[in-house]
Amino acid sequence: MVVPDANVKYDVNNNADTAAFRTGSNAPVSNVRFLGCYFAPSYREAGSKAHTDSLQFSGASTYSNIQLENTVAFGSTNAAIQVGAASHYAFVRTLIIGSKMTCVRYPVPAGADGYSLGFVNPNAVNGAATNATAINSIIIGSIGSTRWAFQSGSTISYVPQTDDDSDLAANLNTLLNLSEFISNDIFQVQYQTGEWKFQTTTNELIHDTMYTFKKF
């Protein structure tokens, strides 16, 4: 699935996400894989209270063993990824871009909430997933109350602020602040089915400007 262009969503029947995965009543879903996807933002219109996400999971039944692999998601007005109450959620070689940094690639368009400010500040990950995994992935922006079970080779920009995040905070090495980013060096990401890549130096992004996970 590739959605390359940002849109202003006008909240018709609250259908305001770039993409969504929803379960019906008495219909639990497991073992879902998103491979080689690219999700541009959905910006809600000015004055709207739409809960716009780039990819949202929700529903009346459980959903588990969800994997995003070789995927890129830029933050919509609310979040890049709304994980809901997913169990066993995995990011594999995936780039999640929340915070104001999403506006470097996708400036807020006229008519959208945040246009007068010149930016939105979405979560990277929102929701309360459990047993989450990040492998060789980069997550820019806040990560909600997701509980992480394992990581390998992954980085985040978020510094946890509350006791609810204490299990995460204890496993972070603090490097340079995200504000050290220079716009032209951030992430000129190309969307290609099956893979994503930077046009800038990935090592600089990981080692000079992020916080690094350790194994939990």
List, for residues 88-126, the tens digit of each pLDDT value.
Answer: 999 998 989 999 889 988 999 999 999 999 999 999 999
pLDDT of residue 173: 36
Element (H, E) at 43: strand 42-44
Q: What pTM did the predictor assign?
A: 0.80
Spatial separation of the C-alpha atoms in residues 40 and 3, rounded to whole Å: 6
Q: What is the DSSP letter of 105?
A: H
The two three-digit tokens of residue 143, written as one number: 């990560």
Distances (CA, A) of 47 to 90, 115, 118, 126: 34, 11, 16, 22
Cα–Cα nearest to 91, from 169, 19, 171, 33: 33
φ, ψ dihedrals at 103, nearest 5°: -80, -10
Cα–Cα nearest to 90, from 46, 9, 154, 181: 154
